[in-house]
Amino acid sequence: MSDRPLPTPPVAQALVGVVLAAALLAGLRDVAFKVAPAASAPFTGAVDATLGPVQHLIGYRQWWTMFSPSPPRNSRGAQVEVMGTDTRWRVVTAPTLPGAGEVQLGYRRMGKFERNLIKDKDTAADLREAVARRLCASEVGGQPAVGVRITRVEKVTPPPGGAPAAWERRVQLEHWCR
Amino acid sequence: MPVTPLDRARRWLFGPVDARVVGWMRASLGALLVTSHLAYAPELDALFAPDALLTQGLFRSDTRWLAWYRLVPDAASLDLLHGALVVPALLVLVGLGGRASLLLALLAQLALMHSNGLAQNGGDRLLRMWTLCMLGSNGTAAVALDAWWARRRGRVPPAVVSGLAVRLVQLQLAWMYCSTGLAKLGGSTWRSGDALYYALLAEHFQRVGGLFTPERLGAGVALWITRLGTWLVLAWEAGFPLWVAWRRTRWVALALGVVFHLGIFATMMVGTFSVVSMWGYLAFVLPALPALGRTGPAVIPVRATPTRRPPPGSAG
């Protein structure tokens, strides 16, 4: 009788070795893409072609942002406004930035979702159109909607020195309902 | 016969650990999985419901078959599905079903990811990694209903198991910190020492709105504290594999990590990332505990690998 575990069979060890090598390759790809996207394009492209589908399926990404290479220098949010037949813009969704003194205890995934919707190049434009079409079918202030405006709102952090933060606004979409 | 580096690597990866080390890691991971899964509940409709405003036009996923939350017809079915998918996490928590429950828990996490990946954060990704890593060892040989059930049926669960899961978690943690630290070396704000200043002022992360302002942090002692903190984090992250590999610095490095993560948790809203990251420290701490840390007959009473207990009266 022994308290040693059953030894891992050589085949299983080899399999683990292959998986670890693939994981290492995928990890190097993510670091290379983050540090030097243009220079590493041939390497990252080759890894994506071979490992990409599996990585996507199992959600394997060694993409640890953690404020690298630099933390954001602004705080972003989206403001959605709808115009009624009286031609007045009304705010439907304000940017979800915490107010002064407001304590957030629970994590809001919708906040993360909204931020990603603004910055994600693949989905942002489509989604803005979809939101606009959807809002066009609604009412605002008891009137049918005639227009939708989506504005990207940013609070820009100044460099150290004590200057106050500045606000920037950029209209991303103005959609007129038919 | 000389020991080759490959032998050493194999021994390091697959060498035995006390089954209770892996058992406690599995149980605590189960608790994290349950908590993380249930935390979705208040926002299920907003994130997944077919008629939710912000989910219109999304999800051109080529893995639609895994986007289970997008396949349900209404909000009631969404609640039902979410309730059902917490079961694998509960099984992991109590240690029932061996690796199968871990696999199912991974599937449940993938269903959430493929249904709305834009609502996920680093903590979710790390939780999936930990689940994958834990598949490397038999996690239900101790601190588990599987082990209890085996004993009731006259089988003796192994007292030591392959330590592959523990090693994978250690490697993953070291890779995560080191690769991020190296990437930060390329960022101008980390080199100049201003990164922590900018990170603390990113309002969408702030736990207490307005606690940090450019006026308060941008000058004097506060600025120098953030600068020292920036460089300390950079050195700690980039060198993490070295700090934990060297016995003399290991505990300082892990203690600093706990301080950093608790600091992030107290000041920033980054989801479960802090807690999920600190779970990985168990892979260093548990094997070092005197009660669990050593394997072999000197510490653990001799037990058999799974075998039938002899029938009564046949002893001797």
Q: What is the pLDDT along chain B (316 residues), one digit of tens a residue?
A: 788 998 899 899 999 999 999 999 999 999 999 999 999 999 999 898 877 766 655 655 577 889 999 888 888 999 999 999 999 999 999 999 999 999 999 999 999 999 988 889 999 999 999 999 999 999 999 999 999 999 999 999 999 999 999 999 999 999 999 999 988 998 899 999 999 999 999 888 889 888 898 999 998 999 999 999 999 999 999 999 999 999 999 999 999 999 999 999 999 988 899 999 999 999 999 999 988 865 543 333 334 444 444 444 443 3
Q: Is residue B300 less than 8 Å (CB to CB) from chain A?
A: yes
DSSP lists the bridge partners of residue A143 as A140
The Cα of B247 is separated from the nearest Cα of chain A by a number of Å equal to 25
pTM of the predicted protein model = 0.87
B interface test, pick of A25, A73, A109 with most B CB neighbours within 10 Å: A109
Q: What is the DSSP string of B190-221?
A: HHHT-HHHHHHH-GGGBSBTTSS-HHHHSSHH
Residue contact A113–B116, C-beta within 8 A: yes
Q: Using CB atoms, which residue from B162, B218, B269 is nearest to A162?
A: B218
Give the domain ranges of chain A: 10-58, 74-176
A-chain residues within 8 Å CB-CB of B303?
1, 3
Q: Is residue B116 less than 8 Å (CB to CB) from chain A?
A: yes
Q: Is residue B195 less than 8 Å (CB to CB) from chain A?
A: yes
Tens of pLDDT, residue by residue, chain A (178 residues): 345 566 778 888 888 889 999 999 998 888 888 778 889 999 999 999 999 999 989 988 888 888 888 999 988 777 889 999 999 999 887 766 666 677 878 888 888 887 777 777 766 787 788 788 888 988 888 899 999 998 888 889 999 987 888 888 989 889 999 7
Instruction: Give the CB-side neighbour count of residue B131, counting CA atoms within 13 A.
Output: 31
Q: Is residue A9 less than 8 Å (CB to CB) from chain B?
A: no
The ipTM is 0.81
Q: Is residue A67 less than 8 Å (CB to CB) from chain B?
A: yes
Q: Is residue B184 less than 8 Å (CB to CB) from chain A?
A: yes
Q: Taking the CB of residue B15, how many other CB atoms lie within 10 A of it?
A: 16
Q: Using CB atoms, which residue from B57, B63, B190 is nearest to A70?
A: B190
Q: Is residue B63 less than 8 Å (CB to CB) from chain A?
A: yes
Q: Using CB atoms, which residue from A4, A72, A111 is nearest to B198?
A: A72
Q: Is residue A87 less than 8 Å (CB to CB) from chain B?
A: no
Cα–Cα distance between A71 and B183 in angstroms, integer?
A: 12
The Cα of A35 is separated from the nearest Cα of chain B by a number of Å equal to 6
Q: Taking the CB of residue A176, how many other CB atoms lie within 10 A of it?
A: 12
pLDDT at B313: 46
3-state secondary structure A19-42: HHHHHHHHHHHHHHHHHCCCCCHH
Query: How big is the CA angle at B68 (ends B84 and B79), to the nearest 5 degrees?
Result: 40
Residue of chain A whose Cα is closest to the Cα of B122: A64
Q: Quick one: which of B80, B135, B69 has its CA closest to B105?
A: B135
Q: Is residue B192 less than 8 Å (CB to CB) from chain A?
A: no
A-chain residues within 8 Å CB-CB of B56?
127, 130-131, 133-134
The Cα of A70 is separated from the nearest Cα of chain B by a number of Å equal to 5
Q: Quick one: which of B150, B172, B194 has its CA closest to B304?
A: B150
